[in-house]
Amino acid sequence: MKNRLVCECCDIWVDDIKKALENGADSFEDLERSMRLGVLCSACIGDSKKVIEELKSELGI
């Protein structure tokens, strides 16, 4: 998956999410707690969840 901005409010990119998944995060909720993904304006939640699922599939998680 190409690196792109996912969460504008917290400056979270696809590569940041990928790194977190590789380091043991398993769900949107994990990333919400650890990275603050989706906690400010919430506009990225739907896209974030899709990115997480695609990356998990790509990584074989």
User: Residue 49: which residues within 8 A CB-CB, separation 6 or more?
Assistant: 28
Hey, which bits of 1-61 come out as E strands?
A: 5-7, 12-13
The residue assigned the tokens 């504008």 is 8
Give this prediction's pTM: 0.93
Closest by CA position to 18, among listed 29, 33, 32, 2: 2
In this predicted model, what pLDDT tens digit does every residue of 13-50 receive, in sequence order? 999 999 999 999 999 999 999 999 999 999 999 999 99
pLDDT of residue 56: 97
pLDDT of residue 12: 97
